[in-house]
Structure 1
Amino acid sequence: MIRLQETTVIDAPIQRCFDLARSVEVHLIANVHSGEQALAVGEITSGLVGLGQKVTWRAKHFGIWHNLTSETTALEPPSHFQVTMIQGIFRSMQADHLFRALLSGATEMKDIFAIAAPLPLLGPLAEVLFLRRYMLALVRERNAVIKEIAESSEWQHYLSYPEALREDLSQ
């Protein structure tokens, strides 16, 4: 099993960052290189993923199409949500996404992943040889997209808030 941790500082309010990280559309943009799609076989295919909701993702990795169904297994707005694979290529996968407001008004987003490769004997070798590096690159790419959207006015295309909250989040 591999454990990955990545921290990204985003110059945007915590609620905006938290919600963009839960957005199906933002997730798809961050994984455009793999042709990722949210399939209708999951519970939701757009919007913000909530507690207990499942999304089935389809993406091409290493030249092979894979389906992975994840469920949001913990949700504590705006500081934490957890996503757990319930069906897919890995033996197990769990991601914790933690958010902390900084004194500067920026947000620290910390992602902690625990992933076990599918094959009991070859899995540990695959984890060392390429899976760790590959998954870390995916996390970094995702976080760069969230940061770019959150720090620009583009976030308004993905999130809809009541006008009073929208003004707070625009700062």
Structure 2
Amino acid sequence: MAISIRLTIGDEGQLASDIFSQLIARVENTARNSATIVAIRLADELNLPSAVIQLLAIRISTHPDSLFWISEIHAGSKIITGALLASALITTVLNNTIGESLKEGWRHTETHKMISASVPQIEKMVISEFKRLFDRQKGMPLGSDLEVDPVAILRDEKTSIIKITARQLRSKPRF
């Protein structure tokens, strides 16, 4: 239930740590916002009460763990591979929020079956929302030396990969 992500940063030398941190924060924030939007949309489709929908959004936005798990950083090439855990968090939060009140009987309800069966749909929705939100943010904050291309989505039989390509711009000499 993790969506693969590949982040490639091109530059002509050393990558500034603040630019790296900004890019990772942008991936994390986009993952969290996409998860919140998808969870709200699914909860609405399940006709859940507004109080439950608000609780879902709060649980996702305040979840203490990152939704972007870095599994590898390749030395020299600045290629970062990892996983977005948004789909897993959405499923867990939906099951826990709704299932809390039902306890044992929850696993046998139609809603639980619908949530469990909709995992592939949740992943597609998260990928779509991630792409929309990440691309909507035009570049990095003012003063940043990083340029980011639009997100590409690569698919094969087994998985989807979110591909992000960025370049550190050369700083212009100051006279």
Q: TM range, normalised to the smaller chain?
A: 0.3 to 0.5
Please identify which structure carries the higher strand content: 1
Instruction: Please report the TM-score for the alignment, with normalisation by the length of structure 2.
Output: 0.45
Instruction: Please report the TM-score for the alignment, with normalisation by the length of structure 1.
Output: 0.45
Greater relative contact order (CA < 8 Å, ≥ 6 in sequence): 2
Q: Which structure would you say has the larger Rg?
A: 2
Please identify which structure carries the higher helix content: 2
